């Protein structure tokens, strides 16, 4: 609505001169800020009214009771499961199995070789990325220091680079 009033005043004045244009732009900007502030205040008021409503308070109490009941039921159920002999036996067997598998993997020559090869591959990858980063930094420095020496886009596309990859 404020914008319409500004538009009407501009057309009734037969357009705006540069001084009037600057003042109108400031008015529009200030009106926009004022309207946003009003919107923020109204939104905060709506949220506060909704927060203080009886319905929200009842819903909050219902959720609290439900969560409390759920926690109590879960605690009782887990306690019963934890006390059963089948659960204790199952947990003991699972611990034994995990321990055996971990021992076998640690002792395995294949696992050692796999770890060594993975480490070698990661180091090679890191070195290649470091080289690429260095090349890019060097190119970046050279293009910023001599902007007239920058090749055109078509020249750059013609100068494809091969990146060596060490195979393990």
Distance of alpha carbon 44 from alpha carbon 25, whole angstroms: 29
- pLDDT over threshold 70, residue 98: yes
Please state, in angstroms and as integers, the Cα–Cα distance from residue 21 to each residue in 5, 31, 93, 143, following that order. Answer: 15, 15, 83, 43
| Structure confidence at residue 68 (pLDDT) | 92
Q: Is 137 part of a structural domain of the chain?
A: no
| pLDDT tens string 116-164 | 888 888 898 899 998 888 888 888 788 776 555 455 555 555 566 666 6
Enumerate the H helices of the chain as residue ranges: 2-12, 18-51, 54-83, 85-107, 109-145, 153-158
- Which of 67-76, 99-108, 155-164 is most confident? 67-76
24 within a domain of the structure (yes/no)? yes
- Which residues span the domain enclosing 23? 1-52
| Token pair for 127 | 């070195």
Q: Is residue 116 part of a domain?
A: no
Query: Which tens digits make up the pLDDT trace of 13-67?
Result: 444 455 565 667 778 888 888 999 999 889 888 888 888 888 888 988 999 999 9
12 located within any domain: yes
The answer to whether the predicted template modeling score (pTM) of the entire model surpasses 0.75 is: no
C-alpha to C-alpha distance for 20 and 4, rounded to whole angstroms: 16
Distances (CA, A) of 76 to 79, 82, 83, 86: 5, 10, 11, 17
Q: Which pLDDT score, from 0 to 100, does residue 10 have?
A: 47
Would you say residue 15 lies in a domain?
A: yes
The pLDDT, as a whole number, for residue 9 is 47
Domain count, the chain: 1
Position 1 pLDDT exceeds 80: no
Is 72 or 87 the better-scoring residue by pLDDT?
A: 72
Chain centroid offset of residue 91 CA: 38
In a domain, 155, yes or no: no
Q: Is residue 166 part of a domain?
A: no
What phi-psi label fits residue 15: left (phi over 0), alpha (psi between -120 and 50 degrees) or beta? left
In-domain check, residue 47: yes
- pLDDT at position 141 is 81
């Amino acid at each position: 609505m404020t914008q319409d009033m500004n538009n009407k005043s501009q057309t009734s004045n037969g357009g705006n001169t540069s001084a009037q244009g600057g003042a109108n732009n400031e008015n529009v900007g200030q009106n926009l800020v004022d309207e946003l502030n009003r919107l923020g205040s109204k939104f905060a008021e709506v949220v506060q009214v909704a927060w203080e409503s009886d319905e929200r308070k009842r819903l909050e109490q219902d959720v609290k009771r439900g969560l409390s009941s759920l926690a109590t039921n879960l605690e009782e159920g887990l306690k019963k499961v934890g006390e059963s002999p089948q659960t204790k036996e199952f947990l003991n067997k699972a611990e034994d199995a995990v321990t055996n598998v971990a021992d076998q993997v640690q002792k395995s020559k294949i696992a050692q070789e796999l770890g060594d090869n993975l480490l070698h591959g990661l180091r090679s990858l890191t070195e290649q990325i470091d080289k690429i980063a260095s090349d890019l930094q060097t190119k970046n420095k050279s293009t910023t220091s001599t902007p007239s020496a920058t090749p055109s886009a078509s020249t750059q596309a013609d100068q494809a680079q091969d990146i060596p990859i060490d195979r393990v």
